[in-house]
Structure 1
Amino acid sequence: MLDMLNRWYQRRFSDPHAVSLVAILLGGFLTIYFFGNLIAPLLVAIVLAYLLEWPVMKLVRLGLPRTLAVMAVLLVFASLMVMAVFGLVPTIWHQVSNLIADVPNMFNGLQSFVSSLPERYPDFVQPHQVSTFMVTLREKVLGMGESVVKGSLASLISLATLAVYLILVPLLVFFLLKDKEEMISTFKRVLPQNRRLASKVGEEMNEQISNYIRGKVTEIFIVGIVSYVTFAVMDLRYAVLLGVLVGFSVLIPYIGAAVVTLPVAMVGLFQWGIGPDFWWLLVAYGIIQALDGNVLVPILFSEAVNLHPVAIIVAVLVFGGLWGFWGVFFAIPLATLVKAVWNALPPTQELVPAESVEE
């Protein structure tokens, strides 16, 4: 067994460049795993820097100095964010308040509907099953209420963290964009000299992550706006809130769409009951998800989606479990990174027996 492992190691890591690549990846993994919470503002700033690098480069190519280009792009971006916050957040907050106020009525309606099932389908649903279901559901609702209260109290504490983010993140984004080349040169000095494979993988992943972040933000906006317009045309309650939820659900491939289906269906069910409008809502929502997965995603992520759905779901579960939100957000690039590293490592070649060589 040890001999087999030793031969495998010699085949894969006889090249010092491969050892350097693995060492760099291991160092990055340990840094984010143990210090991810401490460097969270830096991670947010890096994501925004990747997002804003494209318009900065466009302005630089037009002849504008990089510092002025960075300042102009940040000013426009900050203005759009302020407009979105003051225009969208009050509406979302109002709809969340209305939804919370409607929860008791929704619960009563659900209880009446479930209680009528034994009469409608006596062969399939028994009264004791309904009672057990309602008791369990009531306990879950009460538990969710307690979680909301605790979350509200915790959010007061997180306001200080938000204030820190609002100060640190813009500064970090500015310097990451302005001094990009200097920072990259400084970072390269501390890396191992034998980093040919690491440079190859790094260049590939730099382009992948840049395209992925821009594509993911574009997908969030397109899916969110199309969902809101669809819900508004159908006169569905909480159209803005549900549209935002559907938009952000694309952050988690496959799983997000399945989870957000529940609130969309529940709101439609309590507003219209099981009728034509409810089924048209599900059809429209299904069309949006189908167009997103089969048309929009291949266009925006032509290279990144060259992964099997099982690999993407496993990446979401594994990296999300390791790094939480950031692991989920970067699940596809990280899965692509694993694939790129595996392809970059020297191929395994069977050792030629000594007898064959002598012959």
Structure 2
Amino acid sequence: MHVVPPEETLPLPEEEARRIDLLWSLVMVGMLGLVFVLISVFGGVAVPVLLALTGAYVFNPLVTALERRKLSRTWGTTLVFAGSTLALVGAVLYLIPVFREEAAKLPEFFRRASTQVIPRVEALLGVSVPEFVNQRTAELGAQASDLLQSAGPTAASLAARFASNTARFVTTLLGLAVVPVLGFFFLQDYPRLIGLVREVIPRRALGLVSRRFSEVDDVLSAFVRGQLTVGSILSVIYGTGLAIAGVDMAIVIGVIAGFGNMVPYLGTAIGLVLTMVGLMLSWQGPWQLAVVAGTFAVAQLSEGLVITPRVVGEKVGLAPVAVIIAVLAFGELFGFVGILLAVPFSAILKVVLRVVVQRYQKMPLYTGEAPKG
């Protein structure tokens, strides 16, 4: 978090502070819009740069902490970069076989679900489901199974077509290859980049603008670092508990439920539905239901009482309905990229809106007082 030096905290007249805050708000909204424009027009260049900047932002606190321990910025960056690379490679090498095995089960999973879930629900509840529901469920299961079986060849065909467009293929490969290089240099020069931004801010406005960026930093760090950490922890809890319960597709369901938690209620709801389907297909006894219930209870209580308060806190402060609306709206306007950026951008816009409202509430138009002077 940026700390404003004492010499930057000189009080400003209300009218001047209002102008600075409103200008800062306009600049922030313009920058968010510019990000989407650059991604849309220059995606091959903008996306790698954005990914590299995000990586530098995420790992900067670690390098800064190493600097405080008398390690040079270059060596700290090298150490963090090497450690994160090894961790990523290790995770990929471990997860690829696991997900490949899980993905191979998907066609059979949907085929069994389409033929076995309805009869088991009927036996459990003691009611008969209309025949058209059975038929439609069987058709959907068969279609899903066929779709998944053809996903591999289809993906290979799309990859071949994409590779045939040499310019696009080379640009994509270069973009992916350059991300680690850009990330390393952005991380090494992070304080210098922040210094360059500070140098262009008028001196009288520096203190106020620095505080506003500190508020944005609080929000972004809470989401980018916090939510990813929370999602990882919850994925481990869900995946481990469901695996112990012997539920089919335990790891996939755990990852969906864990990282789906970024959108309130969505991850838990989807994870619970998939778990119930998997539980019906792998039923071994009531003990499984107890383990599943315990897993979800532990995950939800840990997330609400321990993980989120300690890792994220109340810095993002977006209401669940606001997050859901933001994801839907940004997804409709900007597609998959919009879904990824919906929550962090909405959190930044919340800071901007709060600043604008605070300034408006001090204006004579709101207070009803006569203008001074």
1:230 has 2:241 as partner: yes
Partners of 1:67 and 1:178 within 8 A in 2: yes
Deviation at 1:203, TM superposition (A): 1.9
CA contact 1:20–1:192 (8 Å) conserved in 2: no
Whether contact under 8 Å (1:304, 1:336) holds in the other structure is no
Post-superposition CA distance 1:21-50 (Å, at most 9, x none): 233123212212222251122222222212
Q: Which residue of 2 aligns with 1:121?
A: 127
Mapped to 2, the partners of 1:333 and 1:239 lie a distance apart of: 29
Secondary structure in structure 2 of the residue aligned to 1:272: coil
CA distance, structure 2, for counterparts of residue 283 and residue 249 of structure 1: 19
Tell me the distance in 2 between the aligned counterparts of 1:14 and 1:184: 22
* Aligned counterpart in structure 2 of residue 252 of structure 1, from 263, 275, 279: 263
* Corresponding residue number in structure 2 for 1:5: none
Is 1:53 matched up with 2:60? yes
- Aligned match for 1:154, one of 149, 154, 158: 158
1:128-173 CA-partner distances (Å, limit 9, x unpaired): 4544554466556656666675445435648867743541111111
- Alignment of 1:280 onto 2:293: no
Q: Does the residue aligned with 2:82 lie in a helix, a strand or coil?
A: helix
Which residue of the partner structure matches residue 303 of structure 2?
Answer: 292
Are the equivalent residues in 1 in contact too, given 2:107–2:149 (CA < 8 A)?
no
Structure-2 separation of matches of 1:239 and 1:353: 57
Structure-1-length-normalised TM-score: 0.79
Q: Secondary structure at the match of 2:272?
A: helix
Q: Which residue of 1 aligns with 2:360?
A: 347
1:206-217 alignment, distance < 5 Å: 206-217=217-228
Structure 2-normalised TM-score?
0.76
Q: Which runs of 5+ in 2 are unaligned?
A: 1-13, 164-168
User: Amino acid of the residue matched to residue 317 of structure 1?
Assistant: L
Residue 99 of structure 1 aligns with an amino acid whose one-letter code is L
> Are 1:16 and 2:22 matched, yes or no?
no
Q: Rate the CA distance shift 1:232–1:352 in 2: closer, same or farther, 3 A.
A: closer
CA shift, 1:332, in A, is 4.2
Quickly say closer, same or farther: Cα 1:210–1:326, change in 2 above 3 A: farther
Stretch of structure 1 that moved more, 87-96 or 308-317: 308-317
* 1:192 shift after superposition: 7.6
1:258-311: per-residue Cα shift (whole Å, max 9, x none)? 2233322221111118x6245325413431234323432122111225333222
Specify whether residues 160 and 144 from structure 1 end up closer, same or farther in structure 2 by C-alpha distance, changes over 3 A only: farther
Q: Distance in 2 between matches of 1:318 and 1:195?
A: 34
Is 1:29–2:36 an aligned residue pair? no
Structure 1 residues 76-122: Cα deviation after superposition (integer angstroms, max 9, x where no partner): 110111111111211211121123344333333246557x67x9525
> Paired residue for 1:89?
96
Where structure 1 has 5 or more consecutive residues not aligned to the other structure, the ranges are 1-10
Between the aligned partners of 2:180 and 2:172, the Cα distance in structure 1 is 12
1:25 counterpart letter in structure 2: M
Q: Which moved more, 1:197-206 or 1:87-96?
A: 197-206
Tell me how many residue pairs correspond in the alignment: 342
Q: Does 1:80 align with 2:87?
A: yes
2:9 — aligned with what?
A: none
Aligned 8 A contact 2:219 2:348 in 1: no
Q: State how far apart, in whole Å, the 2-side matches of 1:53 and 1:80 are.
A: 17
Q: Which residue of 1 aligns with 2:73?
A: 66
- For residues 249 and 367 of structure 2, the distance between their equivalents in structure 1, rounded to whole angstroms, comes to 71
Classify 1:290/1:316 alpha carbon distance in 2 versus 1 (closer, same or farther; 3 Å).
farther
Change (3 A) 1:231 1:298: same
The structure-2 alpha-carbon separation of the partners of 1:216 and 1:307, relative to structure 1 and needing over 3 Å to count, comes to: closer
